[in-house]
Amino acid sequence: MSLLGAAGRLPATSDNLEASGLPRPILNSVSYQRTREMSIDELLLENRVIFLIGEIGPASSARVMMQMLYLENQKRGQDINFYINSPGGAVDDTLAMYDTMQFISSHVATFCIGRAYSGGAVLLCAGHKGKRVILPHAKVMIHQPYGGVTGQTTDIQIQAEQILKSKRLLNEIIARHTGQPVERVSKDGERDKFFDAAEAKAYGLVDEIAAFPPKA
């Protein structure tokens, strides 16, 4: 599989450009026998490419879910290319994106660029089997969910129970998509466990390591 998917090339996202203070480029797209100006975000979306860059939270998960549902509505059943470079984040938002990936009929091809840690690893391995790709120097990390438990004794007990439920659920999801026994996933995730590209493939987190194209 080509790492670059339908988009042809792997550009920077406009979120990164805005963060650096650079203007968002405007590109021209010719479709339906007309020319219109498009931002990089719009051009990527037109080519069924979406990104999760940075921490997983309400805003980033909402953006990914809306884009997936939009693409599903536009061309149901056509692959969606999902690029991940994330340190992880909120469990609930991770599960919301995971459920959306499983809900739609389009295959979601996942690509790890840089890192896919914690919830990012869950989303990476949840891509369609045979379409999960990692770059040669990218890394994956799994671990148990963190939780800052404070408050009264009863509240602490309730929160601790929810953390344990989340831990079991995430372990089951990773086991389901990697083919590893849930007991091994649970043991490996007791502490931060890092995988390089080859290790991630051997574990079943991805199917393929992307090869660098030859230089002209």
pTM above 0.85, yes or no: no
Which positions are catalytic?
118, 143
* Alpha-carbon span 12 to 7, nearest angstrom: 12
Give the fold, CATH level 3, of 5-209.
Answer: 2-enoyl-CoA Hydratase; Chain A, domain 1 (3.90.226)
What pLDDT does 7 receive? 43
What pLDDT does 146 receive? 74
Backbone dihedral region of 32: left (phi > 0), alpha (psi from -120 to 50 degrees) or beta? Answer: left
Query: Which alpha helices (H) appear in the chain, and where do they start and end?
Result: 14-19, 40-46, 58-74, 91-103, 119-125, 153-178, 182-188, 197-203
Other C-beta atoms closer than 10 Å to the C-beta of 156 total 13
Run means of pLDDT, 10 residues per run, the chain, 216 residues: 48 45 52 69 95 98 98 96 98 98 98 98 99 99 79 81 93 98 97 98 99 84
What pLDDT does 158 receive? 84
Domain boundaries, the chain: 5-209
What pLDDT does 2 receive? 53
Torsion of CA 116, 17, 64, 173, to 10 degrees: 0
What pLDDT does 30 receive? 52
